[in-house]
Amino acid sequence: MEKTLRIRRQENPFSEAYFEEYSVPYDDNMTIAVALLNLSEGQLKKKDEAHPFRPVAFDHSCHQKRCGACAMVINDRPSLACDTRLSSFSEDLIKIEPLKKFPVILDLLCDRSSVFERLKDLKVWIEGESGLQGEEISYEATRCIKCGLCLEICPNFYREGRFGGMAAMAEQAALLAKIGPAQRKKAADNYKRSVYEGCGKSLACRDICPAKLDIEELLVRSNAAALWKRWLKFQEIE
Site of interaction with ligand FES (CB under 6 A) = 60-63, 65-70, 80, 82
Strand order of the sheet with strand 71-74? 45-46, 18-25, 2-9, 93-97, 71-74, 77-80
Question: From the centroid of its chain, how far is CA 102?
Answer: 11
Q: Among ligand FES, ligand SF4, none, what binds residue 61 when CB lies within 5 to 8 Å by partner kind?
A: ligand FES
- Is residue 179 within 8 Å of residue 122, measured between CB atoms? no
Q: How far is the CB of 89 from ligand FES (least distance, A)?
A: 18
Q: How far is the CB of 67 from ligand SF4 (least distance, A)?
A: 11
Q: How far is the CB of 112 from ligand FES (least distance, A)?
A: 13
Q: How far is the CB of 31 from ligand FES (least distance, A)?
A: 9
Rounded Cα gap, residues 108 and 5, in angstroms: 13
- Site of interaction with ligand SF4 (CB under 6 A): 68, 144-150, 154, 156, 165-167, 170, 199-205, 208-211, 213
Question: C-alpha distances in angstroms, 186 versus 135, 179, 196?
Answer: 21, 11, 14
Q: Among ligand FES, ligand SF4, none, what binds residue 150 when CB lies within 5 to 8 Å by partner kind?
A: ligand SF4
